[in-house]
Amino acid sequence: MGKNKRKNKQQQQQSPSLVQTPTQTQSEAASGSASGTTSASGSAAGNQTSESHIAQDKNKIDGKRFPSLSGQRGELNALVVRLLELVAMQPANPNEEWKQYVELQLQLQRIMVLEEPLQKAVCLDATDDQSRQAKVTAFSEWAKAGGVKTDCLEIAIFPGYQLGLRATQDIAAEQPVLSVPRTLIFSEEHLPETDRKLFCNFPLLTNFNLAYALVIEKVRGPDSVWRPYIDVLPARYNTVLYFSIEQMQRLRGTAACTSALRQCRVIARQYANMYKCAHIRPDASSASSMGVLFTQHGLCYELYRWAVSTVMTRQNLVPRELQANDDGDDLSQLPISALIPYWDMANHRPGKITSYYDSGVHQMDCTAQEACKAGEQFFIYYGDRSNADLLVHNGFIDVNNRKDYVKIRLGLGLSDALVEQRAKILARLNIERKAELRVLPAPDYISGELLAFVRVFNMSADQLEHWGSDLERAVDLLHIDCALETDHETRTWQYLYQRLKLLLGVLEATFKESDELQQLEKIQLTEKQEVNKELPGQEIDLLVVQYRRLERRILTDALEYAQERCKV
């Protein structure tokens, strides 16, 4: 079950297509730096944490004692220092980026070995489908008592999906099926005021703050009012944070790889910065408050990647209840990341968004996007997302994704004497000088923005002068039937053909199509032989192979289309 986002009807109503991770700028800012600036995942601690307070509470969490790891502390400190050195480096090319990732993973693997006593103390036991189902009844009763309303849905296990929602009666399209009150929507605002102050200086890092809040509630265990909900969450995920080095290796050469490596780097940086503030360089500054998760809530990397993955796969944006912080800053226009219990058990199927937050009655309402028979699984639509995005942030792909695409990175050369003329026309089309542009599935193949960029890129000085003199006409460049000189259009499609051929060559060089087929057959055979056994990592192996084949299909179809256009 990979949970995602849903879109809003208005600015204050959020829906399934919400991006679960911050933008690149937010991610990098949130992750802090090697010098210990606040991080996207622990940035929000209060100003009251002092070195003496840290020392006093080092082994005690909510009145319980946890392993101090004093015997492992020296090696852990050295490993974290090395992590900070690694994430401070900006890779210059894909090969350097890969080498950085491998070393990061080796450091984190050793850290998890050393933190194992703490993991056993603060992480709930691994939960399989059956044991999760055993806790579903308690969760359902808790949800209904808290105000969740549905008379036609129940939680059930579905092969290939883990948990999902099942119709208990026939449901008509557009029929209201579920509502969740604000009091049962989990966010940082539900923490006690003393904990909420940890987030006051970082209102924009709301996804990070949600992971922070989730760590606090999970460690509270039976004392948390959210325990019934946390009990039915997956014990681990298929997000890239759980990929082995070998599994990530198979993603190399794809459009998803850089995004996946960046995500792993950002989360490693967040963890390392918080650890440093707790155990290496504690002080009384607001930055040191990032270490509160370690000193008061027993944070370890295994717990952190679980919390981050939970947020990545399930978060949604809703309006804030607290309209201002302690400094009086207006937060009313800044939505907040939240988890929506019960509703977030619904799995994804292509369709339309039918879930909205109703600010008038302070609840999330969901209607059926399609008719559903009693006993069938009830699906919702998570929004327009590429499979690369779904794979990296949600741990699943949609083989029938009508909104899928593959990104191509293109840019104007600084040495180009005509770069400013090209940039002027592109700006009229809202295309950056360096842009990630989309190759689409059949029958569209090439997005308008990609086609326009390549057309402008291949213009002569006279053609740039012609199109630049009437920028209102520049929008015609987005259309396949734009009237252009034959030789110019031929250069455009030849360029696209060569670029697509190059991308397919990279795919083949990293993992041949024959190897993909062999890997797929091996997985399917193992599934038949091990029907009743757990297969750790098997789902990820299958996801990666399926993703590669979907990306290959999009590029191959587009290549054939470009080849045909070259002949016209």
CATH for 550: 3.90.1420.10
Asked if residue 384 has pLDDT above 70, the reply is yes
Instruction: Tell whether the model's pLDDT for residue 31 goes beyond 50.
Output: no
Q: Which amino acid is at 415?
A: S
Higher pLDDT, 16 or 324: 324
Domain assignment present for residue 513? The answer is yes
Q: What is the mean pLDDT of residues 180-192?
A: 88
Q: What is the pLDDT of residue 414?
A: 87
DSSP 29-86: HHT--TT----TTTTT--S---HHHHHHTTTEETTEE----TTTHHHHHHHHHHHHHH
Q: Give the total number of structural domains in the chain.
A: 1
Mean pLDDT, all residues of the chain: 82
- 531 lies in some domain: yes
Residue 515 has a pLDDT of: 73
Q: Where would I find the H helices in 511-531?
A: 513-529
DSSP conformation letters of 198-266: GGTT-TT-HHHHHHHHHHHHHHHGGG-TTHHHHHTS-SS--SGGG--HHHHHTTTTSTTHHHHHHHHHH
The pTM for the full model equals 0.83
Which segments within 93-201 are labelled E, that is strand? 153-158, 162-167, 176-181
- For residue 463, being part of any structural domain is answered with yes
Bridge-based pairing state of the strands 316-318 and 406-411? unpaired
Average the pLDDT over 272-300 and give the result.
72
**105 domain-assigned:** no
- Residue 526's pLDDT is 60
- Which residue stretches of 332-407 are H helix? 387-394
Residue type, 113: V
For 414-460, the pLDDT digits (tens) are 899 999 999 999 999 999 999 999 999 999 999 999 999 999 999 99
Give CA–CA dist 265/165, Å, rounded.
34
The residue ranking higher by pLDDT, 100 or 4, is 100
Residue numbers of the domain that contains 510 = 406-567
pLDDT per position as a tens digit, 288-321: 566 666 666 678 999 999 999 999 999 999 988 7
Residue with tokens 């103390």: 121
Answer yes or no: are the C-beta atoms of 318 and 357 closer than 8 Å: yes
The vertex-446 CA angle with 442 and 452, nearest 5°, equals 160
Asked whether residue 439 is domain-assigned, the answer is: yes
pLDDT of residue 221: 84
Residue 530 located in a structural domain: yes
Most confident listed range (121-130, 269-278, 441-450): 441-450
Q: Is 509 exposed, middle or buried (0-12, 13-18, 19+ CB in 10 A)?
A: exposed
pLDDT at 128: 59
pLDDT at 343 exceeding the cut of 90 = yes
Give me the pLDDT at residue 19, please: 30
53-78: buried (b, 16+ CB within 10 Å) or exposed (e) per residue? bbeeebeebeeeebbebeebeeebee
Cβ–Cβ under 8 Å, residues 200 and 326: yes
Comparing 502 with 280, the larger pLDDT belongs to 502
E strand map for 290-376:
316-318, 336-338, 347-348, 355-358, 363-367
